[in-house]
Structure 1
Amino acid sequence: MTTEITLKANPKYIKQFQKGFPLLNKENVSTPLENLDEGSIVNLVDTNKNFIARGYFGKQNKGFGWLVSWKEDEPIDKEFFNKKFQNAVNQRLHFFYDEQTTAFRVFNSEGDGFGGITLDYFEGYYLIHWYSMGAYSFKEDIITAIKKLPNYKGLYQKKRFAVEGKYVEEDDFVHGERPSFPLLVKENSVNFAIYLNDGAMVGVFLDQREVRKLIRDKYADGKRVLNTFSYTGAFSVFAALGGAAETTSVDLANRSLSKTIEQFSINGIDYEAQNILVEDVFKYFKFAVKKELTFDMVILDPPSFARSKKHTFSASKDYTDLLKEAIAITEKNGVIVASTNCSTFDMKKFKGFIETAFKETNGSYKLLEEFTLPEDFKTINQYKQSDYLKVVFIQKR
């Protein structure tokens, strides 16, 4: 039997909650949260014990739980999840009919009404990420709902929550058919090799779909492109297919070499005509300056936080310096694609990093394009922090 508890909202935050703010944390409730059972149903009330919303307790890096219903008579049960997932699918039906794109997000956490999980679609196979033990406690009802979704062939899961202080990154086949890997999917007619059974990162970050398409369709033709923090080389593949004269992919992870070769190969691109380097990006910048290498396009898509033997990178502290490194090896009128998935600052602050970097290098620039999350990564106005992606195309003048 699921435990039900009543929490009092901090009076300062009552209006925010009433308008639909979904995250529970230490500041916005008056009741201590630490010792609650994961998955406990939370009934949030105001100072007069009037109902505000219902949710659940589940510790993750963002807070202590999520509000998921503002209806006092709505239980969190099988029917609740059936409705949530069906509503999410209805808003994305056009993706299911798009033969050129067979990988996308189906359910985006609090954006679709239940924080703590995401659900992605890969050519008939679904992948759920659980971000807390509390969210995972609803697994039976959630999995039952997922099995009813369109084109369902099977389900994989990734557990991304801490148990006794240690993060669990298990990979489980849950139900249905087992695919053979790599599973080939399409994004705007480009192939990607996906591995649902091999770690938390499956082969492509789906939130950059529109950025990759624009690079291919508008910016890559005839250009020398440097793709830093390149992972499996997705930006490089799109640049090559867009007519880039040359691509250089740089990533510190050893497996980036074989993964990038694979992505080029399944798209009929001669990988030996491209440059694929397993190298510390910061070391490569110094090498490029020393050898007087320059590029027409430099793509910067670092993790929010990264550590190598010689460098620790934090997007909130170090992005300006990263931009300065990129500016130094970008040709005049060349383009820097600056991207970050760090949720601790907004687009205005990100553009401030850009301005500072050019000011400190005595350069000038023009902003050409900007992106946030694509439509399948649904967010809500009441919780702007969930719109984490910021991408700006910058022309060096």
Structure 2
Amino acid sequence: MYEIKLHEKHVEKFKKQYPLIFKEGIIGYQLLEAENLAEGSLLKLVDERGKYVATGYLGHQNKGLGWVLSRNEKEKIDLVFFQRKIYQSIEKRLGLYNNPKTNAFRVFNGEGDGIGGLTIDFYNGYYLINWYSEGIYHYKPLIVEALKKSVEFDGIYEKLRFENAVSEHEDGFITGKEAEFPLVVKENGVNLSVFFNEGAMVGVFLDQREVRKSIRNNYSRGKTVLNTFSYTGAFSVFAAIGGAKSVTSVDLANRSLEHTQTNFKLNQLPLEPHHILVEDVFHYFKFAHKKGLFFDLVILDPPSYAKSKDFTFSAEKDYPELLADAIRITKKGGIIIASNNSSTISLDKFKQLIGRGFNAAGERFEIIETHQLPKDFRSHHLYEESNYLKVVFLRVVK
């Protein structure tokens, strides 16, 4: 175990259970880097007098150098440790395991459940492990074995979400029975398709579960709906089931058409009078504005960063302009659901971006609902970035 000393001004932060190991908190950070330690190496964090503070692991990623695992000097980071962490996380989600209407949710959420860099999702009998650094991937044999000992499963898959990572199997299969894709899951009684064999994204963003439910139950009946950056059309399906008059889904990716059609068919929804367009959202806004198209409900859930042939979008820089485009084709009194998943943008900052967007469009708004992560996406109370999701329901004031 490699010993690293913490700057005195940061020691109390770690004693209060701050989870992220960051270079500014370390004395002689350059020396640590010069050691060229292997990813996954255990780190003993001590104060300037050499007194033990915590145990962590080295796992370089965009957030920092690694994560704290324990504050007990005698605790071993072994199979028993990982099994206990996974078992504790499952106990907190027993309500979801026993919900007949939902069988897709997060089982383990990184630092919120005590191991930064690791998430585990459940999809109708299948588990998907996400590794966010080579450091945590070092513990794969122990973590997979701990999961196998903790749950019954049809199969276990993985996604390697760090640079230059190569999974042993192309689709990320680890053990159990291989799934047939698309794998059909239920969310609040609605069928959705999931696939682990098509790159980084798997077909549905589980953190938006409560938002989709609210759209179906409270905002869709009799409305014209525009779902931008629609991906596989999960929001669109919930809006259609909620009684929307028509739903227009717009996404630049060619696969969005087939996947959205699949999700409509899984729920016995007619494709008419709905529209699924493979189109650049930025182009579509200009088209709709020019044609005088207006919608009762606009769903705006862009990625934090996106690039098309003509546009490069960064949420922090471009969200107000994007929102202004959406406002211009939203009916007076209509609803805009503005979503942002950037961990560097706080809820307060996001509301400021929303204000700038409405100012640019010359309109006023009122906030009706605000959502952040659902309960299964446990965040860390001292690490604000872990509660990354912000969704604000806005009414365009008449």
TM-score normalised per structure 2: 0.96
Q: Report if the CA contact (8 A) 1:38-1:137 is conserved.
A: yes
Equivalent residue, structure 2, for 1:54: 55
TM-fit CA distance, 1:273: 2.5
User: Where in structure 1 are there 5+ consecutive unaligned residues?
Assistant: none
Please give the alpha-carbon distance, in whole angstroms, between the structure 1 residues aligned to 2:151 and 2:83: 13
CA offsets per residue over residues 374-395 of structure 1, 9 Å max, x none?
0000011111111000000000
Q: CA deviation at 1:94?
A: 0.8
| Counterpart for residue 362 of structure 2 | 362
8 Å contact from structure 2 (residues 337, 393) kept in 1: yes
1:192: which partner in 2?
192
| Cα distance in 1 for residues equivalent to 2:65 and 2:230 | 33
* 1:219-298 paired onto structure 2 within 5 Å: 219-298=219-298
Question: What SS is found at the alignment partner of 1:324?
Answer: helix
Q: How big is the shift at 1:352?
A: 0.6
Equivalent residue runs for 1:97-116 within 5 Å: 97-116=98-117
2:2 alignment counterpart: 5
Tell me how far apart the structure 1 counterparts of residues 69 and 368 of structure 2 sit (CA, whole Å).
38
Check conservation: 1:24, 1:65, Cα contact below 8 A: yes
1:58 deviates by 0.8
Q: Summarize the Cα distance change of 1:46–1:171 in structure 2 as closer, same or farther, 3 Å threshold.
A: farther
Equivalent in the alignment of 1:88:
89
For the residue of structure 1 that corresponds to 2:88, the secondary structure is: helix
Q: How many equivalent residue pairs? A: 391
Please identify runs of 4+ aligned residues in structure 1 that moved more than 3 A: 167-171
State the identity as a percent. 53
Distance 2:339 2:324 in 1: 14
8 Å contact from structure 2 (residues 321, 360) kept in 1: no
Structure 1: distance between partners of 2:307 and 2:37: 34
For the Cα contact (< 8 Å) 2:8–2:48, is it kept in 1? yes
Change (3 A) 1:171 1:8: farther
Relative to structure 2, which stretch is displaced further, 9-18 or 169-178?
169-178
Bigger mean CA offset, 106-115 vs 170-179: 170-179
User: Partners in 2 of 1:272 and 1:246 — Cα distance?
Assistant: 8
Q: Distance in 1 between matches of 2:37 and 2:273?
A: 57
Structure 1 residue 168: Cα displacement: 4.7
- Bigger drift between 281-290 and 57-66 goes to 57-66
Aligned AA (2:214):
L
**Cα RMSD after superposing both structures:** 1.1
Which one is further off, 11-20 or 295-304? 11-20
Offset from partner CA, 1:110-144 (integer Å, 9 cap, x none): 11000111000001100001111110110111001
Amino acid at match of 1:196: F
> What residue number does 2:21 align with?
24
Structure 2 unaligned residues grouped into runs of 5+? none
Instruction: State the alpha-carbon separation in 2 of the partners of residues 271 and 147 from structure 1.
Output: 41
1:318 equivalent in alignment to 2:318: yes
Q: What SS class does the counterpart of residue 236 from structure 1 fall into?
A: helix
Of 24-33 and 271-280, more deviation after overlay is shown by 24-33
Q: Which residue of structure 1 aligns with residue 175 of structure 2?
A: 175
Deviations 1:210-229 (A, max 9, x none): 00000000000000000000
**Structure 1 counterpart of 2:282, one-letter code:** F
Aligned to 1:151: 152
Q: Residues 244-269 of structure 1, C-alpha deviation per residue, up to 9 Å, x if partnerless?
A: 00000000111111011111110101
- Cα distance, 1:37 vs. partner? 1.2
1:201 aligns to 2:204 (yes or no): no
SS of residue matched to 1:342? coil
Query: Aligned AA for 1:135?
Result: I
Preserved CA contact (<8 Å) 1:160 1:168: no
Answer whether contact 2:300 2:339 (CA < 8 A) is retained. yes
**Bigger shift: residues 128-137 or 142-151:** 142-151
